[in-house]
Amino acid sequence: MHKIILRIVLDIGIVIAVFNGWWFIVLPLSFVGIWLLPFFIEIVIAGLIYDSLFGFVPEMGIWGYVGTLTSIFFLFIIALIKGNIR
Amino acid sequence: MTYLRTNSRSAQHRTRAVIAASTGIVIVIALIHIISPNLISGIWTAIARPFWRIEFSVESGAIRSIETLVAENEELRRRMIEIGARLDTIHFVELQNSELKYLLERTISTSTTNSILAAVLERPPFGPYDELIIDIGKDKGLTVKDKIYAPGKILIGEIGAVLGKTSKVILFSSPGNKYEVLIGPRHVPATAIGRGGGQYEAHVARDIPIKEGDFIEVPSLSDLPFAVVTSVISDTAQPFETILFAPVVNVYQLRWVLVEKQ
């Protein structure tokens, strides 16, 4: 039960931070989520929302997709580390 | 002898599931983005816009007490009278400037009457790109590359993407952007590089006299002063000095901008 509450709290924090463009708050919250909770796909959704709101402009090139790419990278890396040490 | 497994099968399955889900999401998003580039942005911006509007209203003083607002109103009226007097002088100089340019067969537009006022809803901090989100878009007929001015006809950026009721403004100071500029009263040519946060830098020979407060012109973007020199960093061991400059307004404190349609 407490994991569900933790997940909801993290998700609310992540949504507020993403809407304000505070990626430096989204990342630590997401790391906590990935580490403590199973299958924390919210980080990828957060990256996608960040890019949808502030990126996805052709002029930005690859930087316009940095949120989605970074979130997938961290999800993959932390999930891999978790899988190996647990 | 029996050993404990360091990796459980469930953990491996979880990792595979994460990889598969991430790959699936990326493929689906990429397909949607290719078919309709503004669809995903439009949906999320439509969801975020009411929250941005509320934030903007709160920052604009919508929930402050009546006494505070009245006092602020009085203070602003007093400052407006002061500024109005100074503006008359500026108008006179501008008129004189226009007349001289007309005599030299060189006319420019200094009017902002054809511009549309837009509220700055969001300015993502510490982002990989300098950007503002404004509260008008296709509903006001904006198009990509429309010029964005800070109050006072200071060119700061251009429209990067237009959505239904919002637009994304890319500031000229985005990191890596390069412009040919003219510095100071001697119009020293240099290449300016955006550093983000409304800041630019350029390198010029150390023996060229440039001081803080000198105007910067960018002929390719605007005929009006573009920025002012904020700092000159000189090292006696180097043949060049670094000139830092920024627009006269702080782009991250802007609440309103003007959009000039092409």
Are B122 and B52 in contact, with CB atoms under 8 Å apart? yes
- The ipTM estimated for the assembled molecules is 0.84
B161 in contact with chain A, both atoms CB, cutoff 8 A: yes
Which residues in chain A come in under a pLDDT of 50? none
Instruction: State residue B34's pLDDT score.
Output: 82
Q: Which residues contact B45 (CB under 8 A, 6 or more apart)?
A: A52, A53, B133, B163, B164, B165, B166
- In chain B, helix, strand, coil percent, each to 5? 35, 30, 35
Segment B2-7 mean pLDDT: 55
pLDDT band at residue B218 using 50, 70 and 90 as cut-offs: confident
B171 in contact with chain A, both atoms CB, cutoff 8 A: no
A61 in contact with chain B, both atoms CB, cutoff 8 A: no
- Residues in chain B within 8 Å Cβ distance of A14: none
**Looking at chain A, which residue has its C-alpha nearest residue B122?**
A20
Instruction: State residue B3's pLDDT score.
Output: 56
Q: Which of A:11-40 have CB within 8 Å of B? A: 19-24, 38-39
Cβ distance of A52 and B26 shorter than 8 Å: no
C-alpha Rg value of chain A to the nearest Å: 13
Is pLDDT of B1 > 60?
A: no
pTM (2 d.p.) = 0.75
- Residues in chain A within 8 Å Cβ distance of B43: 52
- Residues in chain B within 8 Å Cβ distance of A34: none
Q: What is the pLDDT of residues B149-188, one digit of tens each?
A: 888 788 889 999 999 889 999 998 888 788 888 988 888 8
Is pLDDT of B122 > 80?
A: yes
B56 in contact with chain A, both atoms CB, cutoff 8 A: no
Q: Which pair of structure tokens corresponds to residue B122?
A: 């969001």
Strands (E), chain B: 115-122, 131-134, 147-150, 154-162, 167-171, 178-183, 188-196, 199-205, 215-217, 227-233, 240-246, 256-260
Instruction: State residue B9's pLDDT score.
Output: 63
Nearest to B51 among A19, A66, A79 (CB): A19
Q: If you average pLDDT over every residue of chain B, what do you get?
A: 83
Rounded to 5°, the CA angle B58-B59-B62 comes to 40
% pLDDT > 70, chain B = 89
Nearest to B160 among A59, A66, A68 (CB): A59
Are B190 and B181 in contact, with CB atoms under 8 Å apart? yes
Backbone angles phi, psi at B150, to 5 degrees: -80, 155
Domain count, chain A: 1
Instruction: State residue B207's pLDDT score.
Output: 82
Instruction: State residue A27's pLDDT score.
Output: 92
Q: How far is B200 from chain A (nearest CA, A)?
A: 18
Cβ distance of A23 and B11 shorter than 8 Å: no
Is pLDDT of B110 > 60?
A: no
Instruction: State residue B159's pLDDT score.
Output: 92
B46 in contact with chain A, both atoms CB, cutoff 8 A: no
Q: What is the pLDDT of residues B18-31, one digit of tens each?
A: 778 777 877 887 78
Cβ distance of B11 and A52 shorter than 8 Å: no
Calpha distance B129→A59 (Å, rounded) = 10
Q: Which residues contact B49 (CB under 8 A, 6 or more apart)?
A: B121, B135, B165, B166
Segment B214-228 mean pLDDT: 82
Nearest to B15 among A23, A72, A79 (CB): A79
Q: Which residues contact A50 (CB under 8 A, 6 or more apart)?
A: A18, A21, A23, A26, A67, A68
**Residue in B5, B10, B16, B18 to test binding to A, most A beta-carbons within 10 Å:** B18
A56 in contact with chain B, both atoms CB, cutoff 8 A: yes
Range of the domain at A41: 2-85
Smallest CA-to-CA distance from B223 within B66, B101, B63 is with B101
**Looking at chain A, which residue has its C-alpha nearest residue B47?**
A19
Instruction: State residue B11's pLDDT score.
Output: 64
